[in-house]
């Protein structure tokens, strides 16, 4: 059995939405000190909907694939829906990740939340992280 699904390999080899939005409405970053992966998500918002999304990721193939898939899953969605995106949904959309790479999908979820929070902060909109509870860890990668 292959370590990575064809979907993971496709998103690694042909990442969607890679790049920078220079005039982004929200920017979020997440990183993992243990493995060194860093993700930055850029959002362009129109009428409460994600009109454009880009990412920059420094990390392994799973991190790049997770960033790519996460941006595909939130493009065109309302911010409230983007905030509900879970690392489990990213992993499922990728047709799975090896257990030791699940932290990559967690970073994608965290970077999106950070970008939405940045947008809310810039707009003076109250953000209550309690409305979006932690969905659990990926097996200890965040302590």
Q: How long, in residues, is the chain?
A: 143
Write phi, then psi, for 26 (nearest 5 degrees).
-155, 140
User: String of b and e for 55-80 (b: at least 16 CB within 10 Å)?
Assistant: bbbebebbbbbbbbbbbbbbbebebe
DSSP 8-state class, residue 23: T
**Is 104 annotated as catalytic?**
yes
Alpha-helix runs per DSSP H in 2-137: 6-13, 61-74, 79-83, 87-93, 102-123
Q: Answer yes or no: 141 catalytic.
A: no
- Residues carrying an active site annotation: 35, 104
């Amino acid at each position: 059995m292959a370590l990575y699904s064809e979907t993971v390999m496709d998103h690694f080899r042909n990442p969607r939405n890679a790049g920078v939005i220079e005039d982004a409405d929200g920017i979020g970053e997440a990183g993992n000190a243990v493995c060194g992966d860093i993700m930055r998500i850029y959002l362009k918002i129109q009428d409460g909907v994600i009109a454009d999304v880009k990412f920059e990721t420094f990390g392994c193939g799973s991190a790049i694939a997770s960033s790519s898939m996460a941006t595909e899953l939130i493009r065109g969605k309302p911010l409230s829906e983007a905030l509900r995106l879970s690392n489990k949904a990213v992993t499922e959309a990728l047709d799975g990740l090896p257990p030791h790479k699940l932290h990559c999908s967690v970073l994608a979820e965290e970077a999106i939340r950070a970008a939405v929070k940045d947008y809310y902060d810039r707009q003076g909109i109250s953000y209550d992280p309690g409305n979006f509870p932690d969905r659990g860890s990926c097996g200890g990668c965040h302590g």
